[in-house]
Amino acid sequence: MEFEYLTHEQRGEIAILSINRPDKRNAVNDGLIEDFHQFFSKPPSEAKVVVVRGNGSHFSAGLDLAEHKERSALEMMRHSQFWHTTCNLMEFGGLPIVVVMHGAVIGGGMELAMTAHVRIAESSAFYELPEGRRGIFVGGGASVRLGNIIGADRTREMMLTGRRYNATEGQELGFSHYLVGDGEGMERALELARTVAGNAPASNYMMLNALSRIENMNSQEGFFTESLAAALTQTSEHAREGMKAFLEKRKVKFDE
């Protein structure tokens, strides 16, 4: 697929999306969010997993401040809600995302990165929420999505002080699941993407859709929803094939 601010490369079952505004440090303008929205609204049918990365020396410098400065309250409301629609599509659309973070992972860049289900940081990665210094507030979902990872307390402190967490600290906090050397992120991402793509599609779909929702339920509703998810996946053709392949000691083959 062709986009203005994203490049898309399809390697078999893996779609690679690269944010492509390196001269602006991959700052997120409206066009870039629209590109993400377009891709995740109708991803190529062969894609079973997506790798998201940034071209140039940074993952993303966050919201495009040049574009942002002239908005009314209503325009800002719509803008923030479009980010939410897009980020929700990414988190819950059913296509697992592996992100490779390097250099700046700032503000809205961090909000985009946290929609990914498997997060890899290269050692150059650093994280900041400098909204306070710019006179703005997070609007791409950090209150919820980052809050779910590090809690409201740490999110608030991070925003109040505008502190910079480095890659090692980010790994300890859960911003990344894997920490690798500079330039090693893509190799690890492709390896993990192949593993994820090898799962049954219905199992991946449930992992993406059921777990975050169950986290926000009380335990009785959570247990019931888990049973529903189990009943749907465990009675599928893929479950029969997955268990049969194990018992027959052969490679599993999931047909769509």
Three-state secondary structure call for residue 201: helix
62 binds ligand 1HE (CB under 6 A): yes
- 49-54 and 97-101 beta bridge pairing: parallel
Residue 220 CB, shortest distance to ligand 1HE, in Å, is 35
Residue length of the chain? 256
Beta strands per DSSP E along 56-190 = 97-101, 104-106, 118-122, 126-128, 165-166, 178-180
Which of 210, 211, 29, 187 lies closest to 98, judged by CA?
A: 187
Residue 44 CB, shortest distance to ligand 1HE, in Å, is 27
Assess whether 4 carries a catalytic annotation. Answer: no
130 binds ligand 1HE (CB under 6 A): yes
Assess whether 131 carries a catalytic annotation. Answer: yes
Q: Which of 131, 172, 187, 248 is catalytic?
A: 131
144 binds ligand 1HE (CB under 6 A): no
64 binds ligand 1HE (CB under 6 A): yes
140 binds ligand 1HE (CB under 6 A): yes
The residue from 37, 134, 164, 194 that contacts ligand 1HE (CB under 6 A) is: 134
Q: Which of 91, 111, 122, 128 is catalytic?
A: 111
Which of 146, 136, 127 lies closest to 65, judged by CA?
A: 136
Active-site residues, by number, are 111, 131
**Binding interface with ligand 1HE (CB under 6 A):** 24-25, 27, 58, 61-66, 83, 104, 106-108, 111, 130-131, 134, 136, 138-140
